[in-house]
Amino acid sequence: MSFSKDETFIAHLKALRLMLIKCLSALGICLLPCFFAAPYVIDLLIFLIKGTSDLVLNFFAPMEVFILQIKVAFVLDVLVCFPYIAAKVWDFLVPALYENEQKFIKSIVFSSSALFIIGVAFCLLLILPLIIRFGLSFASADLKPLFGISNLISLCLWLSIVFGLMFQFPLVTYALIRSGIVSYQSVKSKRAYVFLGILVMSGILTPPDIISQLMLTLPTYGLFEAGLLFARKGVSFQRKN
């Protein structure tokens, strides 16, 4: 696909339409296999949730697990198709960009995918067990925990997406500074406001407990500082050249 100067606005819309059709077709084709894979994903999530505890999960309606399987299938479908969708979006955008812009966005796309995966893994392997243990700590002889599978799996999916997205923070910082939208000194001087903003977002996006809020806030702010550091090095390199 290539864009010449004499291509009309309609041609661009057709290219966009074709790209969207390919992406939606990929999602539709992969949905059925993802539906059959969903029970195995649920089993894996249950294994991660239970850990070494003797926790028993329950369901309270005949169709609850089936609906949960559909929900997991949709999320899995998006995750599986993400590389293909990113590639198609990339193919659509590349011809309209300069060579240096192509290299910059290409690096951002790959880094974004890697950070999203790291964020999901961080959530499932470290944060989720902490949240479960925190909840179980309130159990007593007169107060027994009763966890519903739908609520817990939905929490896993939601937190995984939240952590994957929040782990994009260094890329956002890096891209804003490298593109010249904001200056390095301006962002650096507003560290306190950034930390407060991350803390507020973490409080909104996580369950109402201080553990999960802090476990999202601290690594996200650390990643913000990492993005700031790489952006400073990038700006210094540009000045030298």
Boundaries of every domain in the chain: 34-68+108-240
**pLDDT at residue 105, rounded to an integer:** 66
What tokens were used for 85?
A: 């969708």
pTM for this prediction: 0.72
**pLDDT at residue 179, rounded to an integer:** 66
- pLDDT over 70 for what percent of the chain? 84
pLDDT category of residue 97 using cuts at 50, 70 and 90: low
What span, in angstroms and rounded, lies between the C-alpha atoms of 88 and 99?
Answer: 18
pLDDT in tens, 41-77: 999 888 888 776 777 888 888 898 899 999 999 989 9
Phi-psi label, residue 23: left if phi above 0, alpha if psi -120 to 50, beta otherwise: alpha
pLDDT in tens, 174-187: 777 776 677 778 77
Contacts 24+ apart (CB under 8 A), 234-237: 234/174, 234/177, 234/178, 235/177, 235/178, 235/184
Contacts 24+ apart (CB under 8 A), 81-88: 81/23, 81/26, 81/27, 81/30, 82/113, 82/116, 83/113, 84/23, 84/26, 85/23, 85/26, 85/27, 86/113, 88/19, 88/22, 88/23
Nearest-CA neighbor of 153 among 77, 29, 70, 52? 70
